[in-house]
Amino acid sequence: MTYYIYILYSACFDKFYIGQSSDVAKRLHLHNTDDKNTFTSKYRPWELKAVFKVGENRGDALKIERFIKRQKSKSLLIQLIDPNFEPDGRLAQLVRVPRGTIRG
């Protein structure tokens, strides 16, 4: 199974969210429709801004997700959604998934 890191954006609230999943389209749908009271339920609707392939290991996806979240950096997220940005360092293993490949 392939795991991905994804970045969502709520234009209504100017908020970003980062997550990991093996099924990004399904997760996007859940973020926008799930009945549970969660962080993402408060800032709907969410738009998918970027998706990166991490690999076959969910542990790697979780580590990268936690690393990005710990940065608490909106500027990093803005860099990551820029299609011309090339991840390096701790994020070098991320492979950008072309827009339109993931539907949601």
Q: Which of 100, 93, 89 is nearest to 57 (CA)?
A: 93
Please check whether residue 81 lies inside any domain of the structure: yes
Q: How many domains is the chain partitioned into structurally? A: 1
**Neighbouring C-beta atoms of residue 7, cutoff 10 Å:** 20
Residue 8 domain boundaries: 3-96
pLDDT at 102 (0 to 100): 74
Please check whether residue 66 lies inside any domain of the structure: yes
- Confidence band (pLDDT; 50, 70, 90) for 99? confident
Please check whether residue 23 lies inside any domain of the structure: yes
Please check whether residue 103 lies inside any domain of the structure: no
Phi, psi at 5, each rounded to 5°: -105, 135
Please check whether residue 88 lies inside any domain of the structure: yes
Write down the pTM of the prediction: 0.93
How high does pLDDT run on average in the chain? 94
pLDDT at 61 over 90: yes
What CATH number has the domain bearing residue 54? 3.40.1440
Please check whether residue 104 lies inside any domain of the structure: no
Average of pLDDT values for 49-68? 97
pLDDT at 103 (0 to 100): 61
Tokens of 62: 């979780």
pLDDT at 44 (0 to 100): 97
